[in-house]
């Protein structure tokens, strides 16, 4: 699974990227995860299976979805704040179906 994380500057989600990678490794799952700033999303078309948007950008979910044409959803604030890699990975799998 290829997961893109999108936040304001691409920095605050870098901790969550590490936690998702660790959760996937612990489960023996193959996952590619990267964080980008919302301004760089248009350069990511065709590279990802889903996009998780930081809660501070919940207003941009529809725009990001239109740009990437993949499942896009806002991460629950508690999951984001706690950098809960397991919960974020489960959420990504859920929105991909």
Phi/psi at 34 (5° precision): -145, 145
pLDDT of residue 74: 97
If 0-12 CB within 10 Å is exposed, 13-18 middle and 19+ buried, where does residue 26 land? Answer: exposed
pLDDT of residue 16: 95
51 assigned to active site:
no
Q: Which residue has the higher pLDDT, 8 or 45?
A: 45
Sheet with 72-74, edge to edge strand ranges: 32-37, 2-7, 50-53, 72-74
- % of residues, the chain, pLDDT over 70: 98
pLDDT of residue 9: 75
Mean pLDDT within 44-68: 96
pLDDT of residue 86: 98
Q: Is the pTM of this model over 0.75?
A: yes
Mean pLDDT taken over the chain: 94
Q: Domain limits of the chain?
A: 2-96
Superfamily (CATH H level) for 2-96: Response regulator (3.40.50.2300)
């Amino acid at each position: 699974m290829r997961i893109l994380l999108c936040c304001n500057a691409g920095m605050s989600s870098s901790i969550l990227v590490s936690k998702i990678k660790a959760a996937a490794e612990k489960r023996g799952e193959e996952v590619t995860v990267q964080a980008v700033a919302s301004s760089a999303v248009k350069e990511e078309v065709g590279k990802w299976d889903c996009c998780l948007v930081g809660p501070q950008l919940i207003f941009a979910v529809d725009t990001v979805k239109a740009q990437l044409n993949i499942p896009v959803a806002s991460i629950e604030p508690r999951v984001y704040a706690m950098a809960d890699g397991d919960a974020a990975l489960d959420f990504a799998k859920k929105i991909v179906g």
